[in-house]
Homo-oligomer: A and B are copies of this chain.
Amino acid sequence: MKKTKINLGLIGLGTVGSKVIDLFYKNKSIIEQKIGAEIEFYILCDVDKKRFNAVPLSKKIKRTNLWEEVVDNPEVDIVIELIGKEDIARKIIVESLKNNKNVVTANKAVLAKHWDEIFSIAREKQKLVYFEGSVGAGIPIIQALNEGLAANRIKRIVGILNGTTNYILTKMLKENISYETALKSAQKNGFAESNPKIDVSGIDTTNKLSILSSIAWSTWIKPENIYCEGIDKIDIIDINFAFNEFNFVTKLLGIAKLVENKLEIFVRPCLIPSGHPFSSVDNEFNAILLEGDACGNIMFYGKGAGGAPAASAVLSDIMFLARQVAVGTAGKIPYVSYTRLSNISIKEYEKIEGCYYLRFTTVDRPGVLAKISGILAKYNVSIAGVFQKEPLSKYRKAVPILMLTHKTSELSIRKAIKEIDKLSITEANTVLLRIEENL
């Protein structure tokens, strides 16, 4: 069935939602030309009525504070879910599909956690869910994985996927300030929420890595199965030592790597060589590296946060969908092709190998190094370098000893640290950071 006018129902008039409306009217002429049909907002929904006044829209467009009035409205072709909350957002997406509507969302948490449910219903109802804005904001990475690189077997995904944490880590290194001070600066400049937990704990990065991996390997990689460590325990001391002593920059990375049909997948702060392109991805910028068996390494880089870049993705999704709605083909081909029967399994995190940076805090006494290296040897951890530093005032008489290791398993290094941290010569918990030398 062809349509000459496409009606949009937008739920959520926050930062992204209001930018979508701005961009829509700013570029309406090129948008309609590219779609080949008229397109208009038919109904807007927000629980906060004040937000309706902020968007200078025609009185003809309906307003409601009940999402059901959008989702149930027979005139609406495409539902745009931009509320950010989880439970209601899931309901909006699912009910829209059940009501035979196509959906655009940027909600990474809901997608990551309800992947199977959402795409099963979409397939069953022959409707589309587009979600370019969910990862990397304006960077068209979802489409690239889904279509542009579809012929490849993806071997690896590495990403700086969270603008807030990248902003904080950049500030810490460049201005030599503590985590707490950098977080405050991020909040002041609009790069962190007043409750920053989802970002700084690594959960947001985990959700995004879940989405990218689920597409790449045509299965559902649940976020709860991804090892996750945030940046909230990061000490400026280690960021400085890593940079000044070893030329490493500290970045929160999401990594998924297929090794003999087992997926090594985790989110954690990593040390990367300062010459690598990722080391200069600063502030709110994101970068994603994909390795395919045919295309080799491909890198994408752009603003990973902010209303306008996210609106770019959401509105491009709307256009892509609207073109299909206009000619009556939307949903005949599922956007995400996946099977629940994938033979890819996730490797136990403790079995993953890597090289590490260690900072021990010990008393200044003969025999300390012998004790530590003895325990490391017991767990087969091979040392690549040792650097004993001057005591820092913060540590009073305690001495920081820095160590880089050769490749070892996460389990071995953790067991060794556990034993070392019990020694009477150890004055504070040992700091462990993963090194990613060959990105």
**Residues on A close to B: CB < 8 A?**
19, 23, 26-27, 30-31, 33-34, 36, 132, 137-140, 143-144, 147-153, 218, 277, 280, 292-303, 308-309, 311-313, 315-316, 318-320, 323-324, 326-329, 332-333, 337, 339
A–B Cβ pairs within 8 angstroms, 24 of them: A23-B294, A27-B151, A27-B152, A34-B337, A138-B149, A143-B147, A147-B316, A148-B313, A149-B316, A150-B320, A151-B319, A152-B316, A277-B280, A277-B301, A294-B309, A296-B309, A297-B302, A298-B300, A298-B301, A298-B302, A299-B299, A300-B300, A327-B332, A329-B333
- Rounded to whole angstroms, the CA-CA distance of A296 and B139 in the bound complex is 10
Residue in B closest to A301 when the chains form the complex, CB atoms:
B299
3 A-B pairs closest in CB distance: A140-B148, A138-B295, A151-B315
Interface residue from B150, B295, B302 paired with A302 (Cβ < 8 Å): B295
Who on chain B is nearest to A287 by CB? B299
Residues of B within 8 A of A295 (CB): 137-139, 302-303, 308-309, 312-313
* Contacting pair A337 B301 (CB below 8 A): no
Say yes or no: A143 contacts B138, CB within 8 Å. no
B303 and A302 contacting across the interface, CB-CB below 8 Å: no
CB A22 to nearest CB in B, in angstroms, measures: 9
- Which partner residue on chain B sits nearest A339 by CB separation? B33
Chain B hits for A299, CB < 8 A: 299-302
Minimum CB distance partner of A294 in chain B: B312
Interface centre among A312, A313, A318, A326, by most chain B C-beta atoms within 10 angstroms, is: A312
Contact B337 A333 (CB under 8 A): no
Q: Look across to chain B and name the residue whose beta carbon is closest to the beta carbon of A281.
A: B277
Q: A144-B144, A298-B138 are in contact. Are A151 and B316 (CB under 8 A)?
A: yes
In the assembled complex, the CB of A87 is this many whole angstroms from the nearest CB of chain B, namely 29
Shortest Cβ distance from A357 into chain B, in angstroms?
25
Q: Which residues of B contact A301 (CB under 8 A)?
A: 277, 298-301
- Evaluate whether A312 and B327 lie within 8 angstroms (CB atoms) in the complex, with A299-B301, A302-B297, A337-B33 already known: no
Contact of A298 among B27, B139, B149 (CB under 8 A): B139
B320 and A324 within 8 A (CB): no
Contact with A140, one of B26, B144, B316 (Cβ below 8 angstroms) = B144
Is the CB–CB distance between A138 and B294 below 8 Å?
A: yes
Q: Which residues on B sit within 8 Å (CB–CB) of A153?
A: 27, 30
**Which residue of chain B lies nearest to A24 when distances are taken between CB atoms in the complex?**
B151
Residues of B within 8 A of A326 (CB): 333
Give every chain B residue within 8 A of A316 (Cβ-Cβ). Answer: 147-152
> Which of B151, B312, B327 is within 8 Å of A149, CB to CB?
B312
**Nearest Cβ on chain B to A148's Cβ, whole angstroms:** 3
> Cβ of B148 and Cβ of A143 under 8 Å apart?
yes
Given the complex of chains A and B, what is the CA–CA distance between A319 and B33 in angstroms? 27
Across the interface, which residues of B come within 8 angstroms of A323, CB to CB?
333
Q: How close is A125's CB to chain B, nearest CB, in angstroms?
A: 15
Q: A293-B27, A327-B333 in contact; A312/B151 too (CB < 8 A)?
A: yes
